[in-house]
Structure 1
Amino acid sequence: MSFTVRAITLDLDDTLWPFAPIGARIDQVLHDWMLEHSPATAAMYPVAAMRELRERSFREHPHLHHDLSALRRLTLREALEASGASLDLLEPAYEAFYAARNQVEYYPDALDGLARIAARVPVAALSNGNADLERVGIAHLFAFQLGAREHGAAKPQASIFHAACARLGCGHGEVLHVGDHIEMDVAGAARAGLRSCWINREDRTWQHEEIVPDLQFTTLTALADWLDAHMPDRPTAPTAAAGAPARADNRDHAT
């Protein structure tokens, strides 16, 4: 399949790096932090109990599903209050979480593939998650970062895809969205009128009755190879709309 790609929007969690190791590390980092700064909270909410509290907060506040940072703060606040700890610990505890959240281990192909892709077309990070590309250290490879929190709605809502296209200065059909999630990334992008690319690292079988991805690869290297083969010359780069790059504070995982 061949079509024009003037820009790319790219998911982060489970596309550039696996999220599961991050989530496990966050749980342990927060518990260790509580052991040091609020032992009563650590005793009342060991790792499993804190995870249950976070999952309950997610269920009880669907209006905040686009803002996982707010949900994290709600969880920490409830844990501190229930254990009789000072709420002065809330922001330091959140900072301990957020530092751990931005420590990522890339898939082996991710950085080289991303660099090759970014050298060919503008790339915008489009995520429901709360990774901060400045902290992660790869913001220089992106035109900008747009998170669900800043936009006010999460993938698969069409509006977040359209907002990214507008900032890129491209028509919807000129942008290729790349991600791992069948519904939030591929189906969401397709319904919004974008081209879609499924990064299927686990060689899963496509399961969607109405939509199929325009492209499917197991690595970003393969996508970079496709761009090299189908776009030998870089197209005229669109100009992103004016404004400071957005910093995402959220993802498809309840962090």
Structure 2
Amino acid sequence: MPLDLSQIRAVSLDLDDTLWPVWPTIARAETALQDWLHQHAPATQMLCAQPDARLALRAQAARSLPGSAHDMSALRQEAIRLALLQAGDDPQLASAAFEVFLAERQRVELFEDALPALEFLSRRYPLVALSNGNADVSRIGLQHFFAASVGAHEVGCAKPDARMFQRAADRVDVAASQVLHIGDDALHDGVGALAAGMQMAWLNRAAKPWEHAPWEPHLIVAGLDALCIHLADA
């Protein structure tokens, strides 16, 4: 079914890999964390430099915090705490260490089409940031574009759970059917939004095939600039 522009009263927007590439951001944050640990907890830094150890710590953190798979910050901080314990360093350093990671996590490099799209969309609709991750539009400096921000940690679940999308609609006082969700992940953004009753625009920068029939996005675009062109007549 094609996009019905007349029904759109608000827009929810994924963040990671929609407005900026996430993995370069995470890599920089990991490096900042390792540098901090090298100064303050060198034994932990040596432990965390081992890929297998990092994976084991993440798995242990998930077991330590059952029911928190949706909370990236809690899991990350717990993994740091466990690493400090295992290495014989002070586990009370976990909070400070995590803040180093999180601060660098907010230093994103926007896709070229992201800022013009935010300016365009925010002039026409209330925008809701909707993310499974721990990016913070306020700390990034994009808060003036958004009427609200919804994260998995506050809802208690993650996309594609319909409760995430419903919370976004509720935050701007519209029905889910009146929201257009924009995101890059075919399952978490695409199927999640469609199952929640929203219209959905799939940002498919890499020209991937859609593999989630019978669900179908209302619009597929290769960039946010193309999306704005499509919405210009709304």
CA displacement at 1:2 relative to structure 2:
4.4
1:172 CA displacement: 1.4
Q: Tell me: higher relative CO, structure 1 or 2? Use CA pairs within 8 A at least 6 residues apart.
A: 1
Please give the alpha-carbon distance, in whole angstroms, between the structure 2 residues aligned to 1:131 and 1:194: 23
Let me know the Cα RMSD of the aligned residues.
1.5
What percent identity do the matched residue pairs reach? 40
Structure 1 position 62, deviation (Å):
5.7
Is 1:212 the counterpart of 2:216? The answer is yes
Deviation at 1:195, TM superposition (A): 0.6
Query: Distance between the aligned counterparts of 2:44 and 2:147, measured in 1?
Result: 41
5 Å-filtered alignment, 1:56-67, equals 56-57=59-60, 60=63, 63-67=67-71
Show the 5 A alignment for 1:1-255.
1-3=2-4, 4-46=7-49, 48-49=51-52, 51-57=54-60, 60=63, 63-229=67-233, 231=234
In the TM superposition, residue 147 of structure 1 has moved relative to its aligned partner by 0.3
- Aligned counterparts of 1:26 and 1:109: Cα–Cα separation in 2: 24
Deviations 1:90-115 (A, max 9, x none): 11101101011111011111111111
CA distance in 2, matches of 1:50, 1:198: 36
Paired residue type of 1:184: H
Contact 1:8 1:177 in 2 (8 A): yes
Distance 1:228 1:214 in 2: 16
Q: State the alpha-carbon separation in 2 of the partners of residues 27 and 53 from structure 1.
A: 16
Q: Deviation string for 1:45-94 (max 9, x for gaps)? A: 21524532454246545621111111011100100001111123111101
CA distance in 2, matches of 1:143, 1:207: 32
Which amino acid is 2:22 matched to?
A: F
What is the distance in 1 between the residues matched to 2:147 and 2:60?
A: 33
Equivalent residue of 2:232, what SS? Answer: helix
Q: Secondary structure at the match of 1:64?
A: coil
Letter paired with 1:178:
I
Structure 1: stretches of 5+ with no match in the other structure: 232-255
Task: Report the 3-state secondary structure (helix = DSSP H, G, I; strand = E; otherwise coil) of the residue aligned with 1:112.
Answer: helix
Aligned length: 230
- CA distance 1:50–1:34, change in 2 (3 Å): farther
Question: Do the aligned residues in 2 keep the contact of 1:200 with 1:216 (CA within 8 Å)?
Answer: yes
**Structure 1 residue 130, shift from structure 2 partner:** 0.3
TM-score, normalised on structure 2? 0.93
Amino acid at match of 1:112: P
Unaligned runs of 5+ in 2: none
Taking structure 1 as the reference length, the TM-score comes to 0.86
| Equivalent residues of 2:181, 2:189 under 8 A apart | yes
